[in-house]
């Protein structure tokens, strides 16, 4: 398992790149939910999203993490509420949101949540309502008391997410992310242009705001050729790797329906690089976007030992003003100046990136800094 640090967090706040969402498991018996969470933690998953799971997931989740609370991190959504039947719903009523948080803490048997999220900040009005009604102030107060460790938000809309980032209060953003949405071929939740979506992630990385990913499989559509907007099925592992390679992403939180789904998902940890190679999306990439590196590393191996995807990611982020990415680049043991111009990457790149030339551009950029 790979772990990534929350830039605004403490050293110990390192999250598994493969996380778990509990949104799909609510139909399973409580014992199975508890066993699934234990199995996930035993296999190194330490990051969870509890949104939309229904009221029934809290108690078994709490039982599963008892005794190892400090090893586990989870997101709670302020605005996700549950009716008497335990069904997930949605509220902007500050009193209901407060009551839900108290109830969640009791069910989970813990004193704190790692993340308190403004829930579903999709319209400007959502953000204004959550601020005007005092929900954001409530999160700030909880953070001051140590009852939540960080503030974040979930969104599907780049323009609104940018406004949430403008507050300067965010440590984490949950965002819907998959190749269909990023290539403007998704559904109504795939909002924003290719560049708006890319700029949002780059800004998160530059600000040190972590990203957790929802909808990595486009609600399962990408896994089914007849439902996929591309007309070709991707594998879950390809979708997961795609999301993990986007700037700022710390953890991807796919849902599972039960133990069998979880076991299948854990196969990702043993999968070889070929199984995770998502370069087939090059076939569906619009002409205006080809020529841009998507950091997929399909062009490997580089005889000079350059991690081509990573070098390109750091370069793009540095150009967008991310000083930390520039520092990361400088710490690489093999940089763009190691390129011997063999052209192997140019031949291998399905996105038609002229990488050999780009390595020279990257070298000159950092040497000139
Ligand atoms: S140059 Fe092409 S193949 Fe290599 S990482 Fe970039 S997009 Fe992927
Ligand atoms: S051209 Fe440079 S970056 Fe590309 S494979 Fe050859 S040495 Fe590596």
Is 341 a pocket residue for ligand 2 (Cβ < 6 Å)?
Answer: yes
Residue 299 alpha carbon, nearest atom of ligand 2: 5
Q: What is the predicted pLDDT for the residue at 193? A: 82
Is 298 a pocket residue for ligand 1 (Cβ < 6 Å)?
Answer: yes
Domain for residue 251, yes or no? yes
Domain for residue 287, yes or no? no
Is 349 a pocket residue for ligand 2 (Cβ < 6 Å)?
Answer: no
150 and 64 together in one domain: yes
199 and 338 together in one domain: no
CATH of the domain at 36: 3.20.20.100
330 and 247 together in one domain: no
Q: CA torsion 140→141→144→148, rounded to 10°?
A: -70
Residue 308 alpha carbon, nearest atom of ligand 1: 5
The per-residue pLDDT for range 278-334, each reduced to its tens digit, is 888 888 777 766 778 889 888 889 999 999 999 999 999 898 888 888 999 999 999
261 and 314 together in one domain: no
Domain for residue 286, yes or no? no
Q: What is the predicted pLDDT for the residue at 163? A: 96
| Nearest protein CA to atom 5 of ligand 2, as residue | 302
Interval between CA 201 and ligand 1 midpoint (Å): 18
The per-residue pLDDT for range 175-222, each reduced to its tens digit, is 999 998 887 776 777 787 878 888 899 899 989 999 999 999 998 999
Q: What is the predicted pLDDT for the residue at 166? A: 95
52 and 150 together in one domain: yes
248 and 350 together in one domain: no
Domain for residue 42, yes or no? yes
Q: What is the predicted pLDDT for the residue at 269? A: 96
Domain for residue 282, yes or no? no
Is 345 a pocket residue for ligand 1 (Cβ < 6 Å)?
Answer: yes
Using the 3D structure, point to which of 258, 277, 296 is the last residue of a domain: 277
Residue 342 alpha carbon, nearest atom of ligand 2: 6
Q: What is the predicted pLDDT for the residue at 342? A: 95
Interval between CA 306 and ligand 1 midpoint (Å): 12
Domain for residue 18, yes or no? yes
Interval between CA 297 and ligand 1 midpoint (Å): 5
Residue 358 alpha carbon, nearest atom of ligand 1: 1
Regions of the chain short of the pLDDT cut 70: 52-53, 85, 186, 288-289
Ligand number nearest to the C-alpha of 338: 2
Q: What is the predicted pLDDT for the residue at 27? A: 84
| Nearest protein CA to atom 8 of ligand 2, as residue | 302
Contact of 75 with 174, CB cutoff 8 Å? yes
Q: Which residues pair with 214 in a beta bridge?
A: 176
Write down the pTM of the prediction: 0.85
62 and 16 together in one domain: yes
Interval between CA 356 and ligand 2 midpoint (Å): 6
Q: What is the predicted pLDDT for the residue at 285? A: 75
Is 241 a pocket residue for ligand 1 (Cβ < 6 Å)?
Answer: no
268 and 356 together in one domain: no
Domain range for 230 is 3-277
| Nearest protein CA to atom 2 of ligand 2, as residue | 339
Domain for residue 272, yes or no? yes
Interval between CA 292 and ligand 1 midpoint (Å): 8
Q: Residue 159: which of 128, 193, 108 has the closest Cα?
A: 193
Of 238, 283, 285, 294, the residue with max ligand 1 atoms within 8 A of its CB, to mutate for a pocket test, comes to: 294
Ligand number nearest to the C-alpha of 352: 1
53 and 185 together in one domain: yes
Q: What is the 3-state secondary structure (H, E, C) of the chain?
A: CCEEECCCCCCCCEEECECEECCCCCCCCHHHHHHHHHHHHHCCCCEEECCCCCHHHHHHHHHHHCCCHHHCEEEEEECEEECCCCCEEECCCHHHHHHHHHHHHHHHCCCCEEEEEECCCCCHHHHHHHHHCCHHHHHHHHHHHCCEEEEEEEECCHHHHHHHHHCCCCCEEEEECCHHHHCCCCCCCCCCCHHHHHHHHHHHHHHCCEEEEECCCCCCHHHCCCCCCCCCCCCHHHHHHHHHCCCCEEEECCECCCHHHHHHHHHHHCCCHHHHCCHHHHHHCCHHHCCCCCCCCCCCCCCCCCCHHHHHHHHHHHHCCCHHHHHHHHHCCCCHHHCCCCCHHHHHCCCCCCHHHHHHHHHHHHHCC
Of 332, 340, 357, 363, the residue with max ligand 2 atoms within 8 A of its CB, to mutate for a pocket test, comes to: 340
Domain for residue 217, yes or no? yes
Q: What is the predicted pLDDT for the residue at 229? A: 83
107 and 248 together in one domain: yes
213 and 329 together in one domain: no
261 and 195 together in one domain: yes
Provide the domain count of the chain: 2
Q: What is the predicted pLDDT for the residue at 333? A: 94
């Amino acid at each position: 398992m790979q772990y990534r640090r929350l830039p605004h967090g403490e050293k110990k706040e390192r999250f598994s790149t493969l996380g778990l969402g509990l949104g799909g498991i609510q139909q399973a018996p409580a014992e199975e939910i508890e066993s699934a969470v234990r199995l996930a933690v035993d296999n190194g998953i330490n990051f969870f999203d509890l949104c939309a799971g229904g009221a029934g997931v809290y108690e078994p989740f709490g039982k599963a993490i008892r005794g190892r609370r400090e090893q586990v991190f989870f997101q709670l959504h302020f605005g996700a509420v549950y009716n008497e039947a335990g069904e997930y719903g949605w509220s902007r009523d500050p009193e209901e949101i407060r009551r839900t948080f108290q109830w969640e803490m009791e069910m989970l048997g813990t004193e704190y949540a790692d993340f308190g999220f403004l829930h579903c900040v999709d319209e400007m009005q959502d953000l204004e309502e959550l601020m005007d009604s005092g929900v954001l102030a409530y999160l700030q107060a909880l953070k001051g008391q140590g009852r939540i460790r960080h503030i974040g938000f979930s969104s599907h809309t780049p323009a609104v997410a940018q406004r949430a980032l403008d507050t300067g209060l965010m440590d984490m953003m949950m965002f819907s992310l998959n190749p269909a949405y990023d290539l403007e071929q998704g559904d109504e939740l795939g909002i924003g242009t290719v560049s708006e979506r890319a700029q949002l992630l780059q800004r998160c990385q530059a600000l040190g705001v972590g990203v957790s990913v929802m909808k990595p499989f486009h609600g399962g559509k990408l896994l089914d050729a007849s439902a996929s907007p591309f007309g070709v099925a991707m594998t879950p592992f390809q979708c997961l790797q795609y999301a993990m390679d986007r700037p700022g992403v710390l953890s991807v939180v796919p849902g599972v329906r039960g133990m069998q789904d979880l076991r299948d998902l854990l196969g990702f940890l043993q999968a070889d690089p070929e199984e995770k190679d998502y370069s087939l999306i090059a076939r569906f990439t619009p002409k205006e976007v080809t020529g841009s590196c998507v950091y997929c590393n399909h062009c490997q191996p580089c005889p000079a030992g350059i991690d081509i995807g990573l070098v390109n990611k750091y370069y793009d982020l540095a150009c967008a003003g991310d000083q930390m990415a520039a520092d990361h680049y400088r710490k690489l043991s093999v940089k763009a100046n190691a390129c011997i111009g063999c052209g192997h990457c140019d031949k291998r790149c399905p996105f038609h990136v002229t990488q050999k030339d780009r390595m020279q551009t990257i070298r000159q950029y950092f040497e000139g800094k």
